Amino acid sequence: MPRDASNPRHYRYYSLLMAAFVTVLLCSNLIGPGKACLLPLPFELPWIGAALTFGAGNIFFPISYIFGDVLTEVYGYARARRVIWAGFGAMIFAAIMCWVIILLPVDPAEAHNERLQPAIELVFGNTWRIVAGSIMAFWAGDFANSYVMARMKVWTRGKYLWTRTIGSTIVGQGIDSALFYPIAFLGIWEPGTMIKVICFNWFFKTAVEAVMTPVTYAVVGWLKRAENEDYYDHRTDFTPFSLQD
């Protein structure tokens, strides 16, 4: 049943979706950047060449946008906003935790520390620019994604879900890529390389959303029935600086 006004009711699966969203976000930003992948192509592509290089985190990061779409579609922008802030806080805490653990002095009596410390620094010792870029790009991109999703639902009167999931991802992932790579690598990469990487990642992440559309339809439909909720953001305050429902 569609709802327009905020209500204090309890949802059975909202907290689980929040936990899943934060888990995917942290894993893609902590584990993924530690490995660069090279995928040979059967033919040469313009701008890309005969091999595709990408960070492993790009495979899983688009899943967080799918969670964001599901949350906004079912529960509305305000509740999705709370999840985005939870992810934002988790990323900041994880960055601080990585920094502290790297700086803690190792025990010289443990021989394996001589091998372990360099590995920890390599995998989790991202520069401040990469950390700042990840956090800022996530914040801006996810809020843009949720805003477009919520507004398009009202415009389309709840029809054509695929236009909202793909359209919001085009905007959100575009902002994410356009912010992250310049913040993290401007002055390090050549401008041409920067543009290629931004365009490819934008396309790749949007393509993942498009391919996963049938799954999104199934999850959204099941959740709406299970939660008896189908929220429309007619009177929502779309400021990102709030935690209120």
Reported pTM = 0.90
Query: What contacts 129, CB < 8 A, 6 or more positions away?
Result: 183, 184, 185
Q: pLDDT tens-digit profile of 134-192?
A: 999 999 999 999 999 999 999 999 999 999 999 999 999 999 999 999 998 899 888 88
Specify whether the CB–CB gap between 66 and 34 falls below 8 A: no
Instruction: Write down the pLDDT at residue 64.
Output: 94
Task: Please identify, in words, the CATH class of the domain defined by 2-231.
Answer: mainly alpha
Q: Are strands 49-55 and 36-45 parallel, antiparallel or unpaired?
A: antiparallel
* Residues facing residue 49 across a β-bridge: 45
Bigger pLDDT: 6 or 232? 232
Instruction: Write down the pLDDT at residue 1.
Output: 47
Residues 34 and 101: their CA atoms lie apart, in Å, by 16
Specify whether the CB–CB gap between 200 and 48 falls below 8 A: yes
Average pLDDT, the chain: 89
